[in-house]
Amino acid sequence: MSTAIVRIVSELRSIVAAWRREGLRVAVVPTMGALHEGHLGLVRAALAKADRVIVTLFVNPKQFNNADDLAAYPRTEHDDAAKIAPVGAHILYAPDAADMYPQGFATTVSVSGVSEGLCGTFRPGHFDGVATVVTKLLLQTGADLAFFGEKDFQQLQIVRQLVRDLDIPVEIVACPTVREADGLAMSSRNTRLSLAERNRAPRLAEILVQTAKQVNSGESVGRALTDGREAILAAGFSKVEYLELRADGDLASIVTLDRPARLLVAAWLGQTRLIDNLQVPWPRPEAVHQAAA
C-alpha cells in the first residue's frame, strides 16, 4: 500500500471530510520524523483502533529552545514515508513551517501545572511549542483518536490536559515505551550517540529499574534518588538534569511512595540529551503480599 503525502491543510481537510462522510474513524500519530519502531508501534496501535491513520511529520521549530538542536535534528522524510507505507498508514501529513506559522502568527497554547518542573525547567518554552503544535495538528486533522508515546511522559500529560481544557473532541491514547533489545528507549536522538556512548546508554534504563526497586523495597525516596543520580554519573553520563519521582497522573512531586508513581530522568551523554521514565507500582508488591497473608 502507498501512503499519500499531503502538505496543505485544506487538502488534508477535504480528504478527512470524505472519510467522515463514509463514517470512518480517523486517528492521528504526531511525530517529528526520523521514524523508528517506537513510532511504528503507535501507527500499528492506531490502525488497530481506527479505519484511517494520518501520521504527521513536522519538525516543530517552536519546541526547540536551542537552534543547534533544531539544526541537528534528523530529517529523513523519504525514508519515513517508506517505513510507514508497509505498516498501512494512509496519509503522511508533512506541512511546511511557513504554512504552519505564517507571518503574523501570534498564538501560543501554554499549559500550566503539569508542564512545570522536569523538562519544563531545563527546556524553557519547549512545552508551549509542543502544546501549540499539538493543538494545531488535532484541529487540522479533526481526528477522533490521537496516539502518543509514554516515552515523553510529561508531554503526554500536557496533551491530556490541553485536550480536556480546550474541549477538543479527541481521545488520547497512550502507548508504552518501545525499547531496544538492551533496554535503551528508542529515540530519534539515539543516532547521534557515538559507539562508546551507545554502549553506555542502556545503563540509564537499568538504573531506573534499580531505583524503582529501591523505592519499592521501602528505601527512602530521597536516598534512592541520590543513589540513582550517582549511578548515572558513574555510568559515564556527563550530567543528570533530573531524576525524580512524581505522581503517575498529575506529576505532583512525592516524597514517599503512597500512590502510583513514575520515575522520570533526563541526562546528557556527551552532546546528546536522553530522557526516560518508568512506572513505580503502588501498593508496593510486598505490601500487597503481606496484606494478603
Distance separating alpha carbons of residues 77 and 7, to the nearest angstrom: 12
Query: Which stretches does DSSP call E strand in the chain?
Result: 4-6, 26-31, 52-57, 91-93, 145-149, 171-175, 239-247, 261-269, 272-280
Residue 80 is a binding residue for ligand AMP (CB under 6 A):
no
Residue 152 is a binding residue for ligand AMP (CB under 6 A):
yes
* Piece of the chain touching ligand AMP by CB under 6 A; list 4-12, 77-85, 146-154, 209-217: 146-154
Taking the least distance from each CB to ligand AMP, the nearer of 101 and 147 is: 147
Name the residue type at position 267: A
Q: Which candidate in 39, 90, 126, 289 is catalytic? A: 39
- Rule CB under 6 A: choose which of 81, 175, 205, 257 binds ligand AMP: 175
* Piece of the chain touching ligand AMP by CB under 6 A; list 81-89, 144-152, 206-214, 232-240: 144-152
- Work out the burial of residue 164: count CB atoms within 10 Å of its CB; fewer than 13 is exposed, 13-18 middle, 19 or more buried: exposed
Residue count (the chain)? 293
| 218 alpha-carbon distance from chain centroid | 30
Provide the minimum distance between the beta carbon of 200 and ligand AMP in the complex, in angstroms, as a whole number: 18
Is 36 a residue of the active site?
no
Residue 39 is a binding residue for ligand AMP (CB under 6 A):
yes
- Rule CB under 6 A: choose which of 15, 32, 45, 158 binds ligand AMP: 32
Name the residue type at position 224: A
Taking the least distance from each CB to ligand AMP, the nearer of 187 and 272 is: 187
- Work out the burial of residue 18: count CB atoms within 10 Å of its CB; fewer than 13 is exposed, 13-18 middle, 19 or more buried: exposed
Residue numbers of the site for ligand AMP (CB under 6 A)? 31-32, 38-39, 41-42, 148-149, 151-152, 175, 177-178, 185-188
List residues with catalytic annotation. 39
